[in-house]
Amino acid sequence: MRDAQAKLKPPGSEAFGEDGLYELERKTVRRLRRIFYGSLLLCVFIVLDLAFPHALMPQKYALPPAFKLPLLLWAIVITVYVFITLSAIERKARERAESMEGRDVLTGAYSLAYSVYALQEMRSITPHGVRELAVGYVHITGIENVNMRYGHAAGSIAVKNIAQIISDALPYGALLCRMGGAEFAAFMPETKVTEAWATLTKIQESVRALEVDLGDRGKAGGLAARIGLIVDKGGRPPEDLMRDAAENASASGPPQEGA
């Protein structure tokens, strides 16, 4: 199944390279790096010249002392500005590269649109299609309380930790999708209803026991997971399956197998 997933390529990914940079950005990054290293070298040179006068060049070629400090300040400003600009461009490129793979930047889960696309491709390129598909729904409650008490950064840490818990619990070949906020869907091909429900129950218990380490601020707990499941044998659209799995989240036990 992973071999099948490896063949997938999201639409529109040809607009930029594997590093997430457009060609014009790549040229800009090269120029900025040259400027950065040049200004950094100038800073080092001036500092050494101030510390060891006339040690780096003959006195007749040396800059007047009155120019050295303003030149050093100018070089520092340029170096810092270029560094910040480079960091911003490269951060955007990393996010773009991750989106090229259809992944949510925070959690590493697949995006909703890409999950639908990937499942459709799986059904078409595997020898017999996906004959049985379990779709699990996980809705995390308590994130709002973490946000209010510790801040949104803490809530993001909690969501990231929970995504890792879900990913670790899923069977081989499954797709984890972040539907938005604290909602996740798991596509589990060729998985029986009992196996899928056991997986979701394990996730639910792990989330209940989770205490998110926030460093000096302590640990955040009190989280819970509502789970739902539907098992499809008839090739229904993924969007319908996710909706039905979410509607089943209030059920007290696993659903019956069926199309």
- Each of the 259 residues of the chain gets a pLDDT tens digit; together they read 344 344 444 433 344 455 667 677 788 889 999 999 999 999 998 888 887 776 666 666 666 777 888 888 999 999 999 999 999 888 877 776 665 567 777 888 888 777 777 777 666 655 455 678 889 999 999 999 998 988 888 889 999 999 999 999 998 888 898 988 899 999 888 888 899 999 999 999 999 999 888 888 888 889 999 999 988 887 788 888 888 888 888 655 555 554 4
pLDDT of residue 235: 75
Helix or strand (DSSP H, E) at 189: strand 183-189
Q: What are the C-alpha distances in Å from 107 to residues 32, 52, 53, 137, 162?
A: 31, 51, 54, 16, 9
Please report which residue ranges of 126-259 form alpha helices under DSSP H: 143-150, 152-169, 193-209, 238-247
Burial 107-145 (b: 16+ CB within 10 A, else e): bebbbbebbbbbbeebbeeeeeebebbbbbbbbbebbee
Q: How many CB atoms lie within 10 A of CB 24?
A: 8
Cβ-contact 132, 231 below 8 angstroms: yes
Type of residue at 36: F
- In 39-161, beta strands by DSSP E: 110-111, 133-141
Q: Say if residue 63 is exposed, middle or buried (CB neighbours under 10 Å; 0-12, 13-18, 19+).
A: exposed
- pTM (2 decimals)? 0.59
Cβ-contact 143, 203 below 8 angstroms: no
Q: Residue 201: CB partners within 8 Å, gap ≥ 6?
A: 227
Helix or strand (DSSP H, E) at 219: strand 219-220
Query: How far apart (Å, rounded) are the C-alpha atoms in residues 112 and 104?
Result: 9
- Residue showing tokens 């930047």: 105
Query: How far apart (Å, rounded) are the C-alpha atoms in residues 153 and 157?
Result: 6
